[in-house]
């Protein structure tokens, strides 16, 4: 199977000028994404997890040139997307689409649902007639579970779950190969989350989509992903096939995240151990030396302050000097 997306050493850095700096003071670098690498195969889903501020959404935007980035993003083994100009990037935007966290805010309130879903066709398929666009919009609405008579309604007339279905229809109407889902269910109720995730899995199966699924909820990521990548302060901490990572996490950060996932059974929930993370995530303006996770790591040793751990391994990669199985956790 050929690789759809091959990412090597992706970096996104923002120059930051603080209030009070003199005009000649050089901006300080904020390294939001710092050396992320992975491969994505057609029809596969990569789940990306981590705390708020770890660089998940910025990474997604860097992949498609929505923010300036360095490194290599190789599309279908042929084209590096990073150096492309906006004009040269346009053909690839039809093949790589996004859905966003806030379904209502991502839709134009002045446009009907029909116009919202048809808009990408006007940009990427100007050869289509109005009748052909209408047929495609109708078919896509039906595919995502929206009734045809809703086509002339406006976004404020829909629930959050329905608005996210509109966003999915808008993204898929141009038949992309890759769908980037930037926390698409975090603003929805739990029951609606399950419906949207099931819809995405069904669409992936039917259309052969590849997906990058960004989320905080590790239980949702487990349900939809084939591989899972854990980010912390812009760096990859661990990446592995889903079953391997959930059954045998090796990085202490991954273990702490998994220990915090709630269990529906109250007896098991009360008895399970929690791995606490002390303090807050450091500022990306002043990351710790060595391993960026060492200031919160229960296994930190002296060498962790001196050595930046490399991402090593085969299918299961761990950026840790002292990886290992889960240690004894505190009981809730």
Complete DSSP assignment for 134-170: HHHHHHHHHHTT--GGGTT--GGGS-HHHHHHHHHHH
What pLDDT score does 285 carry?
86
Q: How far apart are the first and last CA of the chain?
A: 45
The Cα angle at residue 219 between residues 217 and 224, in degrees rounded to 5:
100
Give the integer Cα–Cα distance in Å for 228 and 244.
9
Angle, helix 160-172 to helix 113-124, in steps of 10 degrees: 20
Nearest of 199, 191, 201 to residue 222 by alpha carbon: 201
Q: In the block, which residue shows the tokens 């599309």?
A: 75
Q: Mean pLDDT, to the nearest integer, of 217-224?
A: 88
Residue 13 pLDDT exceeds 70? yes
Q: What percent of the chain has pLDDT over 70?
A: 96
159-194 per-position pLDDT tens digit: 889 999 999 999 999 999 999 999 988 878 888 888
Give the integer Cα–Cα distance in Å for 315 and 312.
10
Is the pTM value of this prediction over 0.85? yes
- H-run or E-run covering 74: strand 70-75
Its CATH architecture, for the domain 5-16+27-95+176-251, is 3-Layer(aba) Sandwich (3.40)
What pLDDT score does 313 carry?
62
Residue 330 pLDDT exceeds 60? no
61, 67 Cβ separation under 8 angstroms: yes
Q: Is residue 66 classed exposed, middle or buried when 0-12, 13-18 and 19+ CB atoms within 10 A define those classes?
A: middle
118, 137 Cβ separation under 8 angstroms: yes
What pLDDT score does 328 carry?
55
Give the list of residues 6+ apart from residue 22 with CB closer than 8 angstroms, or none: none
Domain ranges, ordered by start, for the chain: 5-16+27-95+176-251
Count of alpha carbons within 13 Å of 279, Cβ hemisphere only? 9
Cα Rg of the chain (Å, integer) = 21
180, 60 Cβ separation under 8 angstroms: yes
54-76 per-position pLDDT tens digit: 999 999 999 999 999 999 999 99
Nearest of 6, 57, 36, 69 to residue 236 by alpha carbon: 36
Give the integer Cα–Cα distance in Å for 239 and 192.
28
Q: In the block, which residue shows the tokens 């199985």?
A: 325
């Amino acid at each position: 199977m050929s690789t759809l997306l091959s990412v090597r050493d992706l970096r996104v850095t923002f120059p930051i000028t603080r209030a009070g700096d003199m005009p000649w003071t050089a901006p300080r670098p904020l390294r939001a994404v710092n050396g992320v690498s992975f491969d994505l195969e057609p029809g596969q889903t990569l789940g990306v997890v981590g705390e708020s501020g770890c660089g998940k959404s910025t990474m997604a935007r860097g992949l498609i040139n929505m923010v300036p980035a360095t490194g290599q993003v190789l599309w279908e083994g042929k084209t590096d997307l990073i150096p492309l100009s906006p004009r040269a990037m346009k053909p690839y935007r039809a093949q790589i689409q996004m859905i966003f966290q806030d379904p209502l805010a991502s839709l134009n309130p002045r446009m009907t649902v029909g116009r919202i879903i048809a808009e990408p066709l006007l940009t990427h398929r100007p050869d289509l007639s109005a009748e052909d666009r209408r047929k495609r919009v109708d078919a896509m609405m039906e595919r995502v579970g929206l009734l045809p008579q809703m086509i002339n309604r406006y976004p404020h007339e829909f629930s959050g779950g329905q608005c996210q279905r509109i966003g999915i229809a808008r993204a898929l109407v141009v038949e992309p190969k890759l769908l980037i889902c930037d926390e698409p269910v975090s603003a929805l109720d739990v029951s609606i989350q399950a419906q949207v995730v099931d819809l995405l899995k069904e669409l992936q199966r039917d259309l052969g989509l590849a997906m990058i699924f960004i989320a905080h909820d590790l239980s949702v990521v487990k349900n939809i992903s084939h591989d899972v990548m854990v980010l912390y302060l812009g760096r990859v901490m661990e990446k592995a096939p889903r079953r391997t990572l959930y059954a045998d996490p090796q990085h202490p950060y991954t273990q702490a995240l998994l220990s915090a996932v709630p269990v529906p059974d109250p007896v098991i929930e009360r008895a399970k151990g929690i791995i606490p993370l002390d303090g807050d995530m450091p500022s990306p303006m002043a990351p710790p030396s060595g391993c960026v996770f060492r200031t919160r790591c229960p296994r930190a040793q002296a060498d962790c302050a001196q050595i930046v751990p490399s991402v090593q391994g085969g299918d299961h990669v761990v950026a840790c000097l002292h990886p290992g199985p889960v240690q004894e956790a505190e009981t809730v």
